[in-house]
Structure 1
């Protein structure tokens, strides 16, 4: 994970994907999984420029998530 202004990188490592709700927790952008689910379902989180309302959305290398003035780039 590398921070550069409001741009963050998340490395999948040996995993094929990370779920959106888990990404927010792993990046310390929310305090709990319940909070992540609530925030996602309320709207305002974008995956590759499209609003995403599914907490279980699978994010893969190359995806970009925008949330609360942060841009997270998913890397392999």
Structure 2
């Protein structure tokens, strides 16, 4: 099941991980992404600064599947 997650403004992968409580600080993103596979639209992504766009699908092993949505895009 895909969880739709809404944000006010465009965010990065690292910001997403923190916002969803997957990591507790932004500084942990680099280490988390080195050790945990994250798929962005079916492709492996390990850049914490990667901007997430409307309707992007993130799959995070052990956490779930997320669809990105922005309030400003509606």
Question: Where on the TM-score scale, by shorter chain, does this alignment land: which range?
Answer: 0.7 to 0.9
**TM-score using structure 1 length:** 0.78
Where do 5+ consecutive residues of structure 1 fail to align?
A: 1-5
Which one has the bigger helix percentage? 2
1:46 corresponds in structure 2 to 39
**Higher RCO, 1 or 2 (CA under 8 Å, sep at least 6)?**
2
The runs of 5 or more residues in structure 2 that have no matched partner are none
Bigger fraction of residues in strand: 1
Using the alignment, how far apart are the partners of 2:50 and 2:33 within structure 1?
A: 10
Aligned residue-pair number: 69
TM superposition score normalised by structure 2: 0.80
Question: SS where residue 48 of structure 2 aligns?
Answer: coil
Aligned match of 2:7? 12
Q: Structure 1: how far apart are the matches of 2:18 and 2:45?
A: 16
